[in-house]
Amino acid sequence: MVVTERAPAISRPPVFSLPALYIAKDFAKEFTSAHFKEAEYENFDALKLAVALSWYNYVLSEDGLQSARQTQIKLSNLITEEREASSPFNPLPTIGIEIESPNKPLRMKPVLFDEYARFFDKIGMPRNKINKSFVEFFDGDPSYWEFSPPPSFSARVQSTIISQLIRGNFVPHLQDSQDPDDIKKYLSNKLVSLHINLGIPPKVGLKYGYQLYSNRDLNIFVSSFAVGFTSPKRLECRQNKKSFFKIRVGTQTPKSLWSPGRIEVVSMEMRDQSAYRALRQIQLVAVALFAHLENPNSAFGRIWQEAELELFYLYTGTGYISETDELKDNNTVKQMARDKKVVDATRAILNRQALKVSAFIAKQKTAA
């Protein structure tokens, strides 16, 4: 008897409903603006997008009033968290994402591109490189959208945007498999790349500038998240294997009168629930990293020193790097990502240090 392997189910095409979109936008404006003064409201574009996408999916779901109340409670909590994170006294750096939509399930057609463009222009999702026009990719497969929402103050806003894009099937996904081989076969040859942007604090930007490219601490920070949260298959399929991050132009926010730029972490992956944990932890651990770069003797700075030592001893102790190596080689990181013990230990270290940062922020808030 021949057993035929069943292909994993791929999400259905998204539904583009302009009536539902207008309802969602009106709700997002009314619901969100009630929590802010008029002058503040303009600073929360990512939050408004997260609320609008959430309500759009609720409207299409035709769920009852209980679901509406639950959605509103979740969104109220999201607004509270984002507002607290926006305080100039909160050390969390701004955070943003870029997700390149898989290209195999829905081959790009001009009409599909137009629907994406019309919908996301109206809902407030800025366009990014590949969605400026119809573009052919290096492997001959056309791609059809790159999601690049505005930066937010809390990682949870970006996680909400991702989850709602997936719920609405705007980002094609496999419904019953998260295996990287399946993702490559049925979704995209490059897998689903997730870029994470972290706003550089002004003092760090002034002190280091583009010297950050050669900064040992930053390289360990970025590489450790690749080890902990990126599959070897994704690392293998990366287009640019020379660096795990780039220094880009940043966006001015209420947290800084000017922006010295952002760190774009280009080695991450949108594959399973761990991506949400990575978003939260990378923002928290970045607090410690930036504090260390500004003042190694600060309370947050000492948290990074502890994390860096633990990571360095883990990677040298397992023989992947020597004491004089810098952890920025794609092949080395790929080998480490195949080692479950190293991956688990890396995640444990990052989680432990993220919890310390979170607890310290909460303590500062209570003291204030």
- Tens of pLDDT, residues 257-279: 666 789 999 989 887 788 999 99
Residue 6 lies in a domain: no
Q: Mean of the pLDDT values across residues 345-366?
A: 94
CA dihedral 16, 22, 27, 30 (to 10 degrees): 150
Residue 23 lies in a domain: no
- Tens of pLDDT, residues 162-198: 999 999 988 887 877 778 888 777 777 777 889 999 9
Residue 57 lies in a domain: no
Structure confidence at residue 178 (pLDDT): 79
Range of the domain at 221: 91-367
Residue 11 lies in a domain: no
What CATH code is carried by the domain that includes residue 336? Answer: 3.30.590
Buried b (16+ CB within 10 A) or exposed e, 208-234: beeebeeeebbbbbbbbbbbbbbbbbb
Beta strands in the chain (DSSP E): 95-100, 135-136, 142-143, 146-147, 193-199, 245-248, 262-269
Structure confidence at residue 368 (pLDDT): 62
- Tens of pLDDT, residues 37-49: 877 888 899 999 9
Q: Mean of the pLDDT values across residues 39-68?
A: 90
Residue 95 lies in a domain: yes
Structure confidence at residue 138 (pLDDT): 40
pTM assigned to the model = 0.91
Q: Mean of the pLDDT values across residues 326-342?
A: 89
Structure confidence at residue 281 (pLDDT): 98
**52-56, 107-111, 241-245, 250-254, range with greatest mean pLDDT:** 52-56
- Tens of pLDDT, residues 296-332: 999 999 999 999 999 999 999 999 988 777 777 888 9
Is residue 3's pLDDT more than 50?
A: no
Residue 5 — pLDDT band, cuts 50, 70, 90?
low
Q: Is 22 helix (H, G, I), strand (E, B) or coil?
A: helix
Is residue 130's pLDDT more than 80?
A: no
- CA–CA separation, 308 and 320 (whole Å): 16
Is residue 20's pLDDT more than 60?
A: yes
Are the CB atoms for 113 and 134 separated by under 8 Å?
yes
Is residue 108's pLDDT more than 60?
A: no
Residue 155 lies in a domain: yes
Among 95, 85, 86, 81, smallest CA distance to 254 is for 86
Domain tally for the chain?
Answer: 1
Residue 18 lies in a domain: no
Structure confidence at residue 114 (pLDDT): 78
Structure confidence at residue 131 (pLDDT): 62
Q: Mean of the pLDDT values across residues 129-147?
A: 57
| 2 vs 289, more confident | 289
Q: For 244, list phi and psi in degrees, rounded to 5.
A: -95, -5
**Lowest pLDDT segment from 70-84, 199-213, 251-265:** 251-265
Structure confidence at residue 30 (pLDDT): 92
- Tens of pLDDT, residues 75-104: 999 999 999 999 989 999 999 999 887 776
Contacts for 336-341 with beta carbons within 8 Å, 24 or more apart?
336/227, 337/226, 337/227, 337/230, 337/231, 337/232, 337/235, 338/232
